[in-house]
Amino acid sequence: MAGFEPRVEYLESFRCPLGGLAAGKPRVLCHGAEIFVSTGSELVYVYDQEGRLLTAVYRFPGQVWHLELRALGRLLYVLCAQKGIYCLSLDQASRSVNQGDGDDRDSEDSEDGEPPCAVIPVHPDACLLPDDTLCAFTVVDDMLVTLAQGPARWKVQLSECPCPGEGARPRGHIGEVELSTSSPLAGAPGEPAAPRILPVLCCASPPGSSALQTRTRGSRGFSLEQALFGLLFGVDASLLESPVILCGLPDGQLCCVVLKTLVTSRLSPGDPKALVKILHHLEEPVVLIGALKTESLPEDAEDTHPDCLVALGHGGRILAIKASWDKAGTLVPELQEYQLPGPVLCAVCGGGGCVYHSTPSELCVVDLARGRAPEGGPGGLPSLLCPAGLGICSVVTLSVSSEVPEGGARLLALSARGRLMTCSLDLRSEVPCPTRAAMADTGQKIKELLSGIGTVSERVSSLKKAVDQRNKALTCLNEAMNVSCVLLAGREGARPISCTTTTAWSRLQPQDVLTATCRLENNSGLSLDRGWALCVQVLTTPASDPDAAGSATTYTIPVDRLGPGDRREVTLPLGPGEDGALDLPLTVSCALHYSLREVVGGALAPSESFTDPSLDECLSDVLPEQDGICLPLSEHTVDMLQCLCFPGLATPHTQAPGLLGPVSDSVDTFLGSLGPRSEPAGPASLRAKFLPPSVATIKAPPELTAAPLSSRHVPGLCHPAVAPR
């Protein structure tokens, strides 16, 4: 936005891993002209702004998670992952460097390869509080407040903070309390894993407290006006003038512990839950807890401390709490939640009521002191926050510089590529905030855009469905053409797709029924899918007049899916009819039929979104009602000889009440019964041995045997025992 035009100046580049620095672990701390930088590795850099050079590099035993500088005595406190808290006296370290105690050089951070400064290893004796479960800490006066990750709960611990050189470690914990958590911590039982986003621990002090006198900019500590401090933390904290420890946990909880009640908890033990107060729940990891001054007060005002507590989550949800007056004139806390662009990589509270937060795409600023709704009145929070982009992307850590220009702000930032920069802003220019009418107009435009997007989405879905249908139809037509070519090209010899017909008598109450079984076999490499059907036509011709037109019955059986090597059998009744007569001969014709309307009709049909009456007429012209592809497979004639039935030769217990499967031809069965047999035992064997062989004679009129005798496919006609009479 045009309200803020930052001026960026690059100071130094630091070594970073492949892919850039990850947010959450890097830190930037400013004290006077010195800038302390940690990139999340084991190194801590000291940069001099006046000389524009690195003055020292400290190597710690582990990955650095947090830095705090105590101005009194120039003490640097460093939290190392799974190691503990180290305390380093910068004055003593500087003397060691001047005496040449640096044992190596950090040449990798120099662009020209020359070692910029000495690397000073930190001795293990500098470990002030060894503890591998510590995730955050803060220094309040001469006490060290830590936040440890237990197997199931977070634990706030309070210890004395001795100065370096005293030769003593903290004399145990002065007090501790466990924090409730809404979800179990990650990791194995007894060994919790390091959190992906570190918790936030800071100190809020009442006006006039000495807890912040030794703190520097960038340290997590602030004071609040008396009215807001009392509303948030209660009368006890106000009367005791005790600092309050604020904890922002990765599960979204924002809770507080009064420091002096934690000190006296060991002297007078009570309910530990009474020491912890949950202020709010952001339902996302907390990345910032800070304070702002949002009200413009006259110069002679006594209380100029921040009047707004701010908590910001990783997803962009921000909470602002102020002291306000209700309609009855009672002082009450006013809570307001906003939603900012996310995910938030880092954030910091600056002067003038501004909150600076970084996302992967841009560094933004929001002003809680501007854009107040007309009905907000004094003490109210704005109803809408308008983030303003600063044109800087991928900032992983922020800090407010100690040198604040008049009417502006100066930030220290570290980018994901390891570049340290300063960003100067002019806060005196007004940032226009949209009015309610403009907001309503914008909302209406958004609704119209969403409606248009929905219409386009429906059209795209309809077109995609139509294209998919036509692609499937083209695929089916291509397969149908392949099947047609295979059948039409293979008329000589065995056909890859064939259909054979056999007849048999079956017992179907109350009479015997002549059935025809059609077996469809697919010996090709193609598949018969949707649209294919087996058509069987049974044509009867009167025996008295072969030239007369007979009656035809057509059966259509869908093939569904017949893959290579598969077969399908269909059994159909041939007669006799209701009058008990069986009209012979019969012709059974088998063919494959492919329905174009079933396959292509859906693809050519108009979609729901594009209805045109002319398309229906075009569809009727292109695809007639009975249009399709018909491929003949076989033709089988059933005459009188094939319908002969010999009840005496039937095998016992083979008749079933329903249709039976196909059996051998009746004539073949009869002729086979006249052939040689195994000799039976007993009197039957003597009778079969001495009696002459059986002779059978079939008598039929010449008119009935003329056509069967001329056919070479009628089985058994060549047997010598069968002669026409």
Whole-number pLDDT of residue 586: 84
Task: Flag whether 509 is in a domain.
Answer: yes
* Mean pLDDT, range 94-123, rounded to an integer: 59
Distances, alpha carbon 558 to alpha carbons 385, 533, 570, in Å: 67, 4, 11
Task: Flag whether 411 is in a domain.
Answer: no
Whole-number pLDDT of residue 611: 46
Tens digits of residue pLDDT in 127-164: 888 989 999 999 988 889 999 988 888 999 998 876 65
- 241-255, 624-638, 642-656: segment of lowest average pLDDT: 642-656
Beta bridge mates, 511: 508
Q: How does DSSP assign 204-271, residue by residue?
A: EE-TT-STTTTB-TTSSEEE--HHHHHHHHHHHHHHHT--EEEEE-TTSEEEEEEHHHHHTTTTS---
Task: Flag whether 518 is in a domain.
Answer: yes
> pLDDT above 90 covers what percent of the chain?
19
Whole-number pLDDT of residue 694: 56
Task: Flag whether 680 is in a domain.
Answer: no
Highest mean pLDDT among 1-10, 38-47, 561-570, 702-711: 38-47
Task: Flag whether 120 is in a domain.
Answer: no
Task: With a cut of 60, say whether residue 668 has pLDDT above it.
Answer: no
Whole-number pLDDT of residue 435: 58
Task: With a cut of 50, say whether residue 657 has pLDDT above it.
Answer: no
Whole-number pLDDT of residue 689: 54
Q: Check the CA dihedral 296-320-36-26 and report its sign.
A: negative
Task: With a cut of 70, say whether residue 341 has pLDDT above it.
Answer: yes
Q: Tell which wins on pLDDT, 4 or 662.
A: 4
Tens digits of residue pLDDT in 236-277: 888 888 899 999 999 999 999 998 888 766 665 656 677 889
Whole-number pLDDT of residue 572: 87
Task: Flag whether 257 is in a domain.
Answer: no
Distance CA 518, CA 502 (A): 7
Tens digits of residue pLDDT in 182-192: 555 554 455 55
Tens digits of residue pLDDT in 670-713: 555 555 544 555 555 555 555 555 565 666 666 555 555 444 33
- 71-80, 189-198, 371-380, 634-643: segment of lowest average pLDDT: 371-380
Tens digits of residue pLDDT in 581-619: 777 788 899 998 888 877 776 666 555 544 444 444 444
* Mean pLDDT, range 360-382, rounded to an integer: 69
Which CATH number covers residue 589? Answer: 2.60.40.1470
> pLDDT above 70 covers what percent of the chain?
67
**Which among 86, 35, 354 is positioned nearest to 216, based on CA atoms?**
35
Task: Flag whether 564 is in a domain.
Answer: yes
Whole-number pLDDT of residue 444: 81
Give residue 483's domain range: 466-603+627-642
Distance CA 657, CA 483 (A): 39
Task: Flag whether 78 is in a domain.
Answer: no
* Mean pLDDT, range 650-664, rounded to an integer: 42
Whole-number pLDDT of residue 514: 85
Q: Tell which wins on pLDDT, 68 or 184.
A: 68
Q: What is the pTM of this model?
A: 0.59
**What total number of domains does the chain contain?**
1
Q: Tell which wins on pLDDT, 679 or 418.
A: 418
> Mapping DSSP to helix (H, G, I), strand (E, B) and coil, where does residue 427 land?
coil
Q: How does DSSP assign 178-213, residue by residue?
A: EEP-SSPPSEETTEEPPPSS--EEEEEE-TT-STTT
